Amino acid sequence: MTTLHTLHLITDLAAKAFAFGGELFSITAILWCLRLTSGLIETSYKAGVIAGRFYKLHLHKWTIRAIAFYWLGCVLTFQGLRWIYEHRAEILATINSYRHKLGDLFAYRSPVFAS
Q: Which domain holds residue 60?
A: 3-105
Nearest to 97 by CA among 85, 87, 89: 89
Q: Distance between CA 38 and CA 74 in Å, rounded?
A: 44
Average pLDDT over residues 61-90: 96
Residue 113 included in any domain: no
Q: Distance between CA 92 and CA 108 in Å, rounded?
A: 26
Residue 111 included in any domain: no
Residue 95 included in any domain: yes
**100: left (phi > 0), else alpha (psi -120 to 50), else beta?**
alpha
Is the pLDDT at 5 greater than 80? The verdict is no
Residue 92 included in any domain: yes
**Phi, psi (degrees; rounded to nearest 5) at 109:** -105, 115
Residue 78 included in any domain: yes
pTM greater than 0.75: no
Is the pLDDT at 115 greater than 70? The verdict is no
Residue 114 included in any domain: no
26-63 pLDDT, tens per residue?
999 999 999 999 999 999 999 999 999 999 999 999 99
Altogether, the residues listed in the chain come to a count of: 115
Number of structural domains (the chain) is 1
Residue partners of 30: CB distance under 8 A and separation at least 6? none
